[in-house]
Chains A and B, each alone.
Chain A
C-alpha cells in the first residue's frame, strides 16, 4: 500500500525517480534541523540567550506548520500515510534484520516514530524553555528543559543512524532524497 506510486506504472517508460517530498516538507526538515543545532550550540551561553530564544520560537512555528501540513499536505506529508502501529514498526525492523527490507516510498514506520518523537519532544522542550525564560517555576524547570533537549538529541542520533542503515540497505541516498525531494521509482526497486 505504501509503495503505490503517484505516476502511472509503466514498465517500459518508468522514470528513474519520482517526486516524494514536497518543497515545504524539505524546507521544514532542514529549517527544523538547523534551529535545533543552533539552539543546542547557543544553550550554554548568556551572550546568545536572545538567539537561543528566537530559535525556540522559530521551531514552535515550524512544528505548528508541520502538524497542519501533516493533516492537509500532499500524500507523503500526511500523518495518515506514514504513522503506523507497533506491529507494523516491529515488522519493518525485523525486515531490516532479515536483509530484505520492506520498501516504503514515503517514510518507513521506524522513521515515522522518529518524526512523532521529535515533534512531541520539540513541543515539550519549547514549552519548558518558554517557562524558564519567563521565570515561571524554578531550577527543576531548567533541568526539565535540558533533559528534553537531551532526549531530542538522542532521537536525532537514532534518526541519523536509521537514515544511514536504511540508505545502505535500500541502496538509496536518503539524505539526497530529502534535498531533491526525489526517490528511486518503485518500479526500479529490486
Chain B
C-alpha cells in the first residue's frame, strides 16, 4: 500500500514534465490528492468554482483579481493592472507549464489563504477552469 502511494506520488511529480498540458497537470494533481487521501474520488469542478469564488482567510478570494468569470480577463486588486484570462479555453498559455502553474499557485494561495494550496484544491480549481468554455463575460 505504501509502495502504491509512493509510486503514485512519483508519477504525480514526473507526469507534468513528460507532456505539459492542463489535462496532464490535472491528472497529476488528482494522483497527488489520492496519494494524500485514498478516499479522494476525483477532482470536482463544482468544488473548484466554490473554492475560487469564496473569500478565504485573508479577505481575498481568487476571484478578487481573476473575477468569477475566468474566461474573461481580470484586474489586479492592488495595482489595477489587467490580468489575462485564466481559463485555458480563453488563453492557451495557462497551465501549459507545470513549473509556472506551481509557482503562481504557491504565490497566490499564500496571498488568498495564508498557506499553500493542497493538491486537491489545485486539482478542483483546474477542473473548473477546464470546464469553463469561452463565453461572453
Q: Verify A139–B97 contact, CB threshold 8 A.
A: yes
Residues of B within 8 A of A46 (CB): 65, 76-78, 107-108, 111
Q: Chain A binding site: helix, strand, loop or mixed by DSSP?
A: loop
Interface residues on chain A, size class: 10 to 19
Q: How far is the CA of A140 from the CA of B39 in the complex (A)?
A: 39
Q: In whole angstroms, what is the CA distance A49 to B108 when docked?
A: 12
Contact of B111 among A47, A133, A135 (CB under 8 A): A47
The docked-state distance in angstroms from the alpha carbon of A60 to that of B120 is 42
- Give B132 Cβ to nearest chain A Cβ, in Å: 22
**Within 8 Å of chain B (Cβ to Cβ): is A45?**
yes
15 A-B residue pairings within 8 Å (CB atoms): A44-B107, A45-B107, A46-B65, A46-B77, A46-B78, A46-B108, A47-B78, A47-B111, A49-B76, A49-B78, A50-B79, A53-B79, A133-B79, A133-B81, A139-B100
Contacts A45-B111, A49-B79 given; 7 further ones with Cβ under 8 A? A44-B107, A46-B108, A46-B111, A47-B78, A133-B81, A138-B93, A139-B97
Pairs A-B, 9 closest by C-beta atoms: A46-B111, A49-B78, A44-B107, A49-B79, A50-B78, A45-B111, A47-B111, A50-B79, A139-B100
